């Protein structure tokens, strides 16, 4: 039974990594012989896995501002959708794919089998790398303040990441040194040992290079910031800039301040509205005044503004997928 399971496991790993679903012994390839090029592809796979992990972490940190991202897309193409969650889901699937590929490679190394990554895998992981690079560039250009938020998140969770990193390094040390011990060139072997040892030491002493504001004496006694809601209140339960929205926020958060945007109608009546260009995003102005849909909010009279519906869109589009729970 043990031999059958071992044979099945090796065949699965061989099939996943090499995309050749047949018995390893009948593959016609020498066991344990892996070219330098394939070893480089293996390390490239590991580096791309780490890089993708950093992007997945950053995008998870950005989740607090997915609403702004969704509005940005909505203003561009006019379609409301949970783009932030969609991107998160795509990269979770990508992470699963990369980890499955890495697990297959580790199994082949442990069974002393050759590693020849299929061309489809090579193209895919390069596409994934390109996606991550493009995503980082776009975020840094269009949403630069969020990069700072990811740095703050990393600082806050730094101690936990360090513990996880130590566990990963400890569990994978046998694999790393197994690969190093198989290097025939003495100079390359010395360089590899030096680099890996330096990396291990750096990871061990990493806490000396960062400080987390979430741990330490007196943290619980520090004054907490005042919660100030800008235009939103509790947008998951009511449309923004509405009394209902503010009332719901009071129930959830207790005492807090509201900072909102006041505009002046054409006949001098103050009203709350965030957007400065037009009324299209959160009202039915295109239905009531289609010829003036692109007009500035301040150019409408108060009587005209009262004819608009600024709440039904919330029930119809259900941006947070929670209307059914009301």
* Region at 185 (left for phi over 0; alpha for psi -120 to 50; beta for the rest): beta
Are 21 and 138 part of one and the same domain? yes
Helices within 24-82 (DSSP H only): 36-61, 66-77
**Residue 86 covered by a domain:** yes
pLDDT of 130 strictly over 90: yes
- Give me the phi and psi of 270, to 5 degrees please: -70, 140
Helices within the chain (DSSP H only): 2-18, 36-61, 66-77, 83-110, 119-142, 144-156, 158-181, 186-204, 243-253, 285-288, 302-305, 312-317
Are 191 and 270 part of one and the same domain? no
Q: pLDDT confidence of 5, banded at 50, 70, 90?
A: very low
Are 40 and 132 part of one and the same domain? yes
**Residue 223 covered by a domain:** no
Q: Which of 143, 168, 191 is the last residue of a domain?
A: 143
**Residue 221 covered by a domain:** no
Are 256 and 307 part of one and the same domain? yes
What pTM was computed for the model?
Answer: 0.57
Q: What is the C-alpha to C-alpha distance for residues 101 and 52, in angstroms, rounded to an integer?
A: 14
Compute CA distances 198 → 125, 191, 194, 322, whole Å: 27, 11, 6, 51
How does pLDDT run across 68-95, given as a tens digit for each residue? 777 777 777 777 777 888 888 898 999 9
**Residue 220 covered by a domain:** no
Strands 257-259 and 228-230: parallel
Query: Cα angle vertex 61, ends 215, 206, to 5°?
Result: 45
Are 233 and 210 part of one and the same domain? no
Are 10 and 136 part of one and the same domain? yes
Number of domains in the chain: 3
Of 214 and 186, more confident:
186
Average pLDDT for 114-130:
88
Distance from the first to the final alpha carbon of the chain: 55
Average pLDDT, rounded, for the chain: 78
How does pLDDT run across 159-204, given as a tens digit for each residue? 777 888 888 778 877 777 777 777 777 787 788 788 888 888 888 8
Q: Which residue has the tokens 């100030």?
A: 228
**Residue 152 covered by a domain:** no
**Residue 148 covered by a domain:** no
Are 25 and 80 part of one and the same domain? yes
pLDDT of 45 strictly over 50: yes
**Residue 222 covered by a domain:** no
Are 14 and 133 part of one and the same domain? yes
The distance from CA 113 to its chain's CA centroid, rounded to whole angstroms, is 35
Q: Which of 108, 143, 178 is the last residue of a domain?
A: 143
Of 33 and 61, more confident:
61
**Residue 176 covered by a domain:** yes
Are 210 and 244 part of one and the same domain? no
Are 11 and 114 part of one and the same domain? yes
Q: Which of 215, 236, 257 is the last residue of a domain?
A: 215
Question: What is the pLDDT, as a whole number, of residue 1?
Answer: 45
Domain of residue 169: give its range: 157-215
Whichever domain contains 257, its CATH number is: 3.20.20.190
Are 86 and 180 part of one and the same domain? no
pLDDT of 18 strictly over 70: yes
Are 261 and 172 part of one and the same domain? no
Q: What is the C-alpha to C-alpha distance for residues 215 and 253, in angstroms, rounded to an integer?
A: 25
Answer whether 7's CB lies under 8 Å from 113's CB.
Answer: no
pLDDT of 246 strictly over 70: yes
């Amino acid at each position: 039974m043990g031999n059958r399971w071992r044979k099945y496991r090796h065949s699965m790993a061989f099939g996943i990594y090499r995309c050749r679903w047949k018995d390893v012994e009948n593959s016609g390839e020498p066991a344990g012989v892996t070219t330098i090029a394939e070893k480089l592809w293996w390390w490239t796979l590991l580096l791309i896995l780490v890089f993708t992990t950093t992007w997945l972490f950053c995008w998870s940190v950005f989740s607090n501002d997915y609403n702004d991202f969704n509005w940005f897309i909505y203003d561009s193409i006019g379609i409301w959708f949970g783009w932030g969650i969609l991107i998160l889901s795509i990269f979770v699937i990508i992470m699963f794919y990369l980890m499955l590929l890495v697990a297959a490679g580790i199994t082949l190394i442990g069974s002393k089998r050759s590693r020849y990554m299929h061309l489809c895998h090579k193209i895919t992981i390069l596409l994934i790398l390109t996606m991550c690079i493009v995503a980082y560039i776009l975020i840094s250009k269009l949403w630069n303040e969020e990069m700072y938020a990811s740095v703050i998140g990393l600082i806050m969770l730094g101690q936990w990441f360090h513990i996880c990193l130590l566990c990963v390094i400890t569990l994978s040390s046998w694999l790393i040194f197994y690969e190093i011990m198989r290097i025939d060139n003495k100079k390359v072997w010395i360089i590899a040992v030096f680099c890996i040892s330096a990396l291990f030491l750096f990871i061990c002493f990493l806490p000396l290079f960062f400080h987390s504001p979430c741990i330490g004496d007196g943290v619980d006694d520090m004054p907490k910031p005042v919660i100030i809601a800008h235009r939103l209140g509790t947008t998951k339960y009511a449309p923004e800039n509405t009394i209902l929205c503010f009332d719901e926020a009071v129930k959830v958060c207790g005492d807090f301040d509201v900072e909102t945007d006041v505009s002046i109608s054409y006949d001098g009546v103050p009203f709350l509205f965030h957007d400065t260009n037009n009324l299209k995003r959160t009202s039915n102005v295109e239905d009531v005044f289609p010829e003036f849909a692109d007009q500035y909010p301040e150019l409408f009279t108060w009587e005209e503004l009262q004819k608009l519906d600024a709440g039904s869109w919330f029930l119809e589009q259900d941006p947070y997928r929670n209307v059914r729970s009301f």
